[in-house]
Amino acid sequence: MKANSIKDKFTNLKANKPLRQDLITYAIVIFAYLLIRILDMAGMVNSQLNGLLVPICVYAILAVSLNLTVGILGELSLGHAGFMCVGAFTSAFFSKCMVEAIPLAIVRFPVAILIGAVCAGLFGVLIGIPVLRLKGDYLAIVTLAFGEIIKNIINTINIGRDSNGLHFSMKSAMDLGMEKDGVFLIKGAMGITGTPGDSNFTIGVILLLITLFVVLNMVRSRDGRAIMAIRDNVIAAESVGINITKYKLLTFAISAALAGMAGALYAHNLGSLTATPKTFGYNMSIMILVYVVLGGIGNIRGSMIAAIILYVLPEMLRGLQTYRMLIYAVVLIVMMIYNWAPKSIAWRETHSAKDLLAKVKGVVASKSKKGGN
Amino acid sequence: MALLEVNNLGISFGGLRAVDDFSISIEKGQLYGLIGPNGAGKTTVFNLLTGVYKPNVGIIKLDGQDITGKKTIDVNRAGIARTFQNIRLFGKLSVIDNVKVGLHNQMGYSVFASILRLPSFRKVEAQLQERALEILKVFDLDKEAEVLASNLPYGKQRKLEICRALATNPKLLLLDEPAAGMNPMETLELMETIRFVRDHFDMTILLIEHDMKLVSGICEELTVLNFGRILCQGKTSDVLNNPEVIKAYLGE
Ligand SMILES: Nc1ncnc2c1ncn2[C@@H]1O[C@H](COP(=O)(O)OP(=O)(O)OP(=O)(O)O)[C@@H](O)[C@H]1O
Ligand SMILES: [Mg+2]
């Protein structure tokens, strides 16, 4: 009876371990947020760092959400910036249209974020459909092409509004044929200007927490297990009745919706939004993938931390001019080795913080025993 | 009425007639063996029964329901679960999570419940944990519940595959060479376990096996396949004494 209850406690403890890990992840975010806030009040956050705070949240959300596709579902996607782009433009378009109708940012911005997320999520389903038939390299190429297509289409869209209503053209801004009082909402390659600057660090952190909450809770559930089962062995997953189609589409939709949310955050942090290769091209998609790979594929907290370090580092090193990229490259290599080299993995397994603690406890215990004798 | 009723099943790969005119009838609660030399088409029969391959001809009926040509997941939902000759576990999931994936369609909650951690999530997860441990206990795997499946020794991986298949609550269990790679001690133990599963879960089992000791020890009836065709079918003792079967196994 007694042995049984102890064993029950033991299994309970193990079952709760992932939960504790998740709480640590949330705690890290909240602690970092409070730290920055305190430093800010003490006047220790310079304007350069201040400008990085919202983008940090954007890239952390992107990395965490991409890890859902790459690490948990195990499908290589190179179009994540495309989903972000959809979220950015749809949300910014909404805000620009509604800036007079809904003057309160606290009402308008959540709706804008939701619209960005839903639109990006719909595109996620759309892209998820070919994913059902493609694997590996082929899928990577399709998603990469998707990102580029999205970016290029957005560059050709012109939308304006005048007393007659909305005007739309894929040719040029002149083709809109607006009255004198007309205003451009989206102006081709010039994108959207004058989006209300609703984003701030606090909202960024809240969105990051929401992302972590959604992804972590999903991973540690029946659905997460089904998705990881598909990753580990599709044939076996089918043989136990897992609906592969449903779960692949679901994963792509959620991953894309979260990227869309990051896009909304990004768009409302800038005065003007343009779909340039630098912001939404495949370079950006690959950058996010680098965060995921270096943070550890399937490791949600790792993605977040890698995104923060690897985004902030090159910005901080700007003063060092020529050595900047060199240092950045070295950091990339070191992180790669730390995360993926078999020897490093083995070392970490034998030297984990928990074992160290156990060792210390053991030493203390043996000493006190000796003292007792 | 038989639980599994298969008539004139056949499939070709290119010019190769891998399975031809295959018929079998298995009663509820039976322990049935499918044997034959390498490449005879045994695994292909399993793949046909579970919808991995679509047959060119033939009918498969489970419990009176026609399941010919159904998709793998629908076949599983209709009540057939299987293990694989080359083990296919979810390697990066823990042992217990492998079983919980098997329980996927038995107990559930919505995606919203999992993301928002609604009460239904907690309740069902507790049930899942309990049920999964119960199944693992039958195979003496409950102590390894939190171990990664890929870190289990070979013999235990085979057992875990059976656990996962059982978790889907099937009417018919297909085992593809469950004793492959096991030592004689483990094989003996496995024989006991298979019998126990049949009695305890009220299960019908069709198994492929090369180990004649296991086959003659636990199977009540046998079908022998050779070059995709049925060579002999009937009571185990009769089949194993059939001169044609002995010839097929020992060669000319
Ligand atoms: N998908 C496939 N495409 C082409 N040929 C196949 C395919 N699957 C099986 N075969 C062929 O069908 C024949 C039967 O194969 P099967 O795997 O069913 O044999 P088996 O009886 O299970 O043999 P073993 O005892 O070695 O497992 C073999 O000649 C094999 O090469
Ligand atoms: Mg075989």
Do B126 and B66 fall into the same domain? no
How do the domains of chain A map onto residue ranges? Answer: 20-155+191-340
Please give the pLDDT value at position A354. Answer: 64
Name the residue among A215, A204, A296 with its Cα closest to residue A250.
Answer: A215
Mean pLDDT of all residues in chain B? 93
Do B136 and B207 fall into the same domain? no
The predicted-structure confidence for B63-98, as pLDDT tens digits, reads as follows: 999 999 999 999 999 999 999 999 999 999 999 999
How many angstroms does the Cα of residue B45 sit away from the middle of ligand 2? 9
Sole residue written with tokens 């923060």: A308
Please give the pLDDT value at position A313. Answer: 84
The predicted-structure confidence for B17-71, as pLDDT tens digits, reads as follows: 999 999 999 999 999 999 999 999 999 999 999 999 999 999 999 999 999 999 9
Do B243 and B214 fall into the same domain? yes
Do B109 and B62 fall into the same domain? no
Q: How many residues does chain B have?
A: 252
Which of B109, B131, B165 terminates a domain? The answer is B165
> Which sign, positive or negative, has the C-alpha torsion A292, A294, A300, A305?
negative
The predicted-structure confidence for B101-138, as pLDDT tens digits, reads as follows: 999 999 989 989 999 999 999 999 999 999 999 999 99
DSSP string of A50-116, one letter each residue: HHHHHHHHHHHHHHHHHHIIIIII----S-HHHHHHHHHHHHHHHHHHHTTT---HHHHHHHHHHHH
Which of B131, B165, B199 terminates a domain? The answer is B165
Do B187 and B65 fall into the same domain? yes
Do B95 and B145 fall into the same domain? yes
Residues of A in contact with B165 (CB under 8 A): 239-240
Which residue range forms the structural domain that includes residue B152?
Answer: 91-165
What is the C-alpha to C-alpha distance for residues B241 and B224, in angstroms, rounded to an integer? 12
SS3 B72: helix
Do B191 and B70 fall into the same domain? yes
Domain A20-155+191-340 has CATH 3.30.450: no
Helices and strands, counts by H and E, chain A: 15, 5
Do B230 and B200 fall into the same domain? yes
Please give the pLDDT value at position B196. Answer: 92
pLDDT < 70 positions in chain A: 1-17, 173-174, 176, 179-180, 351-356, 364-365, 367-373
Q: How far is B110 from chain A (nearest CA, A)?
A: 9
Residue of B nearest to A235 (CA): B88
Please give the single-letter amino acid code of residue A371.
G
Please give the pLDDT value at position A5. Answer: 45
Residue environment code for B94-119, b if the CB has 16+ CB neighbours within 10 A, otherwise e: bbbbbbbbbbbbeeebebebbbeeee
Name the residue among B104, B98, B222, B117 with its Cα closest to residue B162.
Answer: B98
DSSP code of residue B18:
E
Residues of A in contact with B92 (CB under 8 A): 228, 231-232, 298
How many angstroms does the Cα of residue B93 sit away from the middle of ligand 1? 29
Do B153 and B175 fall into the same domain? no
Residue of B71, B88, B116 lying closest to A236 (CB–CB): B88
Do B105 and B52 fall into the same domain? no
Residue of A223, A231, A239 lying closest to B72 (CB–CB): A239
Percent above pLDDT 70 for chain B:
99
- Structural domain total, chain B: 2
| Strands, E assignment, B36-150 | 57-62, 65-66, 80-82
Q: How far apart are the first and last CA of chain A?
A: 34
Which of B105, B134, B165 terminates a domain? The answer is B165
The CB-side HSE value for A333 (13 A sphere, CA atoms) comes to 6
Please give the pLDDT value at position B79. Answer: 95
Do B191 and B234 fall into the same domain? yes
Query: Tell me, what's the ipTM?
Result: 0.93
* pTM confidence score: 0.88
The predicted-structure confidence for B205-225, as pLDDT tens digits, reads as follows: 999 999 888 999 999 999 999
